[in-house]
Amino acid sequence: MSDHQLRVSKIRNGTVIDHIAAGQALNVLAILGIDGSEGYGLSIAMNVSSGRLGRKDILKIEDRELSQSEVDVLSLIAPEATINIVRDFEVIEKNRVERPDRVSGLLSCPNHNCITNADEPVETAFEVISDGVRCNYCGTIIHEDIADHLAVE
Ligand SMILES: [Zn+2]
């Protein structure tokens, strides 16, 4: 078994997110709404050497798989990430993330006058552009600090 396989197959069931840009692991956890209080087994490796990226972060989350909308937002802050789904210690599926054309619902618009922040809120929708995301309703652009604009459930 190669070093790589050994590293990603240590958990019994769950998800290993590999090749996260160094320093983004905690933002990825924020996207998934995981703060450690849910009881998921969790391991975080930060600033690990990686041939492809120089330095990277790795997250292992037991008994948790990701929804497509979570993967879509994750791709915005960790575009090189690979998502390994583990069942019975085996990686049964391995996917690169892909930047979606748009994300709905998971981010909130920083513009307080935006219709998505009104008393009867409309679900947010952001178009993904080369250097961030743009609100479909008011045109506000969010650049690097996407994780700061996660909609709170
Ligand atoms: Zn807006």
**CA pair distance 60, 43, nearest whole angstrom:** 5
**CA pair distance 55, 12, nearest whole angstrom:** 26
Give the pLDDT of residue 1: 47
Flag whether 13 is marked binding.
no
* CA 135 to centroid of ligand 1, rounded, Å: 5
* CA 151 to centroid of ligand 1, rounded, Å: 13
pLDDT-above-90 percentage for the chain? 47
Under 8 Å between Cβ of 137 and 122: yes
Mean pLDDT across 38-47: 88
CATH 2.30.30.20 in the chain is located at 102-149
* pLDDT tens-place string over residues 106-143: 889 999 999 999 988 789 999 999 888 999 999 999 98
DSSP 22-80: TT-HHHHHHHHT--S-S---EEEEEEEEETTTEEEEEEEEET----HHHHHHHHHH-TT
Mean pLDDT across 10-22: 92
Cα dihedral: 35, 38, 41, 42 (round 10): -10
CATH class of 102-149: mainly beta
Flag whether 138 is marked binding.
yes
**Secondary structure (3-state) at 119:** coil
CATH number among 3.30.70.140, 3.30.1480.10, 3.40.50.1110, 3.10.20.600, domain 14-96: 3.30.70.140
* CA 78 to centroid of ligand 1, rounded, Å: 23
For residue 124, give the DSSP letter: P
